[in-house]
């Protein structure tokens, strides 16, 4: 009876040992691992792909490693030795508080710890990320563009045991001409351009384009006429920025219309500028306006002058000019900052008709409070089309409004999709995520 019992016990122990060995055995490594540049990107990512090993049932995921360069290995080894020495020095110094030579003892302990850390050899890899068991690719980002980087992949099981490394080779990230994540932008751009061009063609074909009445622009004729009746000048300020600012460009464009009215009414127009290039552009625009009005002999370039680039030096000159000359009309069109209230309050003090326009939201309250008329935001940019009434400009303005309407529809659709996605619907959630992370995040 004893022999069968002993045999059964030995077999049971053997089975337990075999089961334990199988339980802790490393999973098989992935196969056909390769690294290559991620296509259609900005040159900051490398894609690593592999294939799952056959008959592998204990793989919990894959871990991707980046091979270190020689300099990185030396730096990592140095950091490891310094860290080990620091820990050993502090421990030895604190444990020998009564010894007179504890500094020597701590130094010896730190030296020994550094030697032991160095004896482990230089690390040649660093983990960069983990992929799930059903994922067969990993994108390493960000990486240095143009530098060849080598990778390797290991599979691991639920206990953390890793397989032997599968070498993926090296690859260098390169910058592509187009970004694949922005592919949606091309048809969107084509569609918006087609809308604007179509609206321009419709306007040229004679289809009426209705533009909302802008009181500030309608008042320009009245304001210039008042200056003519009073025999006082019209003061025009085209902002304090240079010609590379879109608001300055819009202000100079409106100046052409104001100058033409002033030429027809025989009113004097003064344009002090804070930038020399703005002075040159303003002179060309005003001269053209006078020629179109048939008053080329009345054009005086000296009324359009450069003052200074210094913000408050320029404001001091204009404010003094207002007090001395007392212009009947003050027009401010362009980019303004802290000087907006100084200018408009001085104009208000001399009882001038004031018309302002800017897209600088922080300065709009001051203009609204101190001026008779204010162009708010996009009214300012639409002024040239409104004043000229030219079909091309009106068609372009209408096309832009249609594009804005489409953008509003997209935003509303995004809100609806996000709401439905929050209720647990997968397709609306995927669509809202793409809209938020790919399109709106651009």
Q: What are 154's strand-pairing partners?
A: 63
Determine phi and psi for 368, rounding to 5 degrees. -60, -40
What is the distance between the terminal CA atoms of the chain, rounded to a whole angstrom? 81
The tokens describing 377, both together, are 């935001």
Do 350 and 230 meet the contact criterion of CB atoms below 8 Å apart?
Answer: no
Strand order in the sheet with 46-51: 31-37, 46-51, 137-140
Looking at residue 313, the DSSP 8-state letter turns out to be: H
233 closest CA partner among 292, 279, 302, 280: 302
Tens digit of each residue's pLDDT (9 = 90 or more) over 20-63 = 444 457 789 999 999 999 988 888 999 999 999 887 778 999 99
Is the peptide bond prior to 142 cis by the omega test (within 30 degrees of 0)? Answer: yes
- pTM surpassing 0.95? no
Looking at residue 435, the DSSP 8-state letter turns out to be: I
Do 38 and 173 meet the contact criterion of CB atoms below 8 Å apart?
Answer: yes
For 126, the 3-state DSSP assignment is strand
Looking at residue 165, the DSSP 8-state letter turns out to be: P
Q: Along the 442 residues of the chain, how does pLDDT read in single tens digits?
A: 455 554 545 545 555 444 444 445 778 999 999 999 998 888 899 999 999 988 777 899 999 999 998 888 888 888 888 888 888 888 888 887 677 777 887 788 888 888 887 777 777 888 999 999 988 999 999 898 888 999 999 999 998 899 999 999 999 999 988 888 777 888 888 998 999 999 999 999 988 888 888 888 888 889 999 999 999 999 999 999 999 998 999 899 899 989 999 999 999 999 999 999 999 999 999 999 999 999 888 999 999 999 999 999 999 999 999 999 999 999 999 999 989 999 999 999 999 999 999 999 899 999 999 999 999 888 888 887 887 778 888 898 889 889 889 889 988 998 999 899 888 888 888 888 888 877 766 5
Strands 269-273 and 148-156: unpaired
Strands 234-237 and 304-306: unpaired
As a whole number of angstroms, the distance between CA 334 and CA 431 comes to 40
Alpha carbon distances (Å) from 254 to 334, 380, 381, 390, 410: 10, 9, 9, 14, 33
Size of the chain in residues = 442
Strands 353-358 and 373-376: parallel
Which residue matches tokens 């096309």?
Answer: 399
Reported in sequence order, the residue ranges of 160-306 that DSSP labels E, i.e. its strands, are 166-172, 234-237, 269-273, 304-306
Can you give the residue ranges of every domain in the chain?
27-177, 184-207+393-439, 215-381
As a whole number of angstroms, the distance between CA 304 and CA 7 comes to 113
The tokens describing 247, both together, are 């608001």
Tens digit of each residue's pLDDT (9 = 90 or more) over 68-97 = 988 888 888 888 888 888 888 888 888 876
272 closest CA partner among 283, 262, 263: 283
Determine phi and psi for 174, rounding to 5 degrees. -125, 150
Looking at domain 215-381, does it have CATH number 3.40.50?
yes
Which CATH class, in words, describes the domain spanning 27-177? mainly beta
């Amino acid at each position: 009876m004893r022999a069968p019992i002993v045999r059964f016990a030995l077999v049971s122990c053997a089975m337990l040992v075999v089961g334990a060995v199988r339980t802790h055995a490393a999973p098989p490594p992935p196969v056909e691992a390769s690294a290559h540049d991620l296509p259609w990107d900005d040159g900051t990512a490398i894609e690593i792909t592999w294939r799952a090993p056959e008959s592998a049932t204990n793989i919990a995921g894959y871990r991707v490693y980046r091979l270190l360069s020689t300099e990185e290995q030396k730096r990592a080894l140095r950091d490891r030795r310094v860290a080990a020495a620091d820990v050993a020095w502090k421990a030895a110094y604190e444990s020998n508080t009564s010894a007179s030579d504890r500094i020597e003892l701590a130094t010896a302990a730190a030296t020994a710890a550094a030697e032991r850390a160095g004896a482990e050899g230089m690390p040649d890899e660093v983990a960069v990320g983990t992929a799930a068991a059903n994922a067969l690719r990993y994108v390493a980002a960000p990486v240095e563009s143009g530098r060849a980087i080598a990778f390797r992949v290991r599979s691991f099981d639920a206990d953390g045991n890793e397989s032997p490394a599968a070498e993926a080779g090296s690859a260098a990230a390169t910058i592509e001409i187009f970004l694949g994540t922005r592919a949606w932008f091309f048809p969107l751009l084509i569609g918006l351009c087609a809308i604007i061009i179509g609206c321009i063609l419709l306007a040229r074909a004679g289809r009426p384009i209705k533009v909302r009445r802008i009181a500030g622009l309608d008042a320009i004729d009245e304001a210039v006429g008042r200056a003519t009746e009073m025999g006082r000048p019209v003061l025009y300020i085209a902002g304090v920025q240079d010609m590379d600012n879109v608001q300055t460009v819009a202000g100079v464009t409106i100046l052409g219309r104001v100058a033409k009215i002033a030429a027809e009414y025989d009113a004097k127009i003064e344009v002090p500028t804070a930038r020399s290039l703005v002075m040159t552009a303003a002179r060309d625009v005003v001269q053209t306006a006078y020629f179109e009005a048939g008053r080329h002999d009345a054009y005086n370039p000296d009324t359009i002058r450069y003052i200074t680039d210094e913000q408050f030096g320029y404001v001091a000159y204009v404010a003094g000019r207002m007090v001395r000359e007392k212009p009947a009309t003050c027009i401010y069109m362009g980019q303004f900052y802290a000087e907006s209230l100084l200018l408009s309050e001085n104009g208000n003090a001399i009882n001038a008709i004031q018309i302002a326009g800017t897209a600088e939201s922080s300065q709009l309250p001051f203009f609204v409070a101190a001026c008779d008329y204010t162009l708010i935001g996009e009214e300012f940019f639409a002024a040239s089309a409104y004043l000229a009434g030219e079909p091309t400009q009106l068609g372009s303005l209408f096309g832009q409004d249609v594009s804005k309407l489409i953008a509003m529809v997209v935003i509303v659709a995004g809100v609806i999709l996000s709401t439905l996605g929050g209720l647990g619907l997968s397709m609306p959630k995927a669509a809202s995520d793409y809209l938020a992370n790919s399109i709106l995040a651009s």
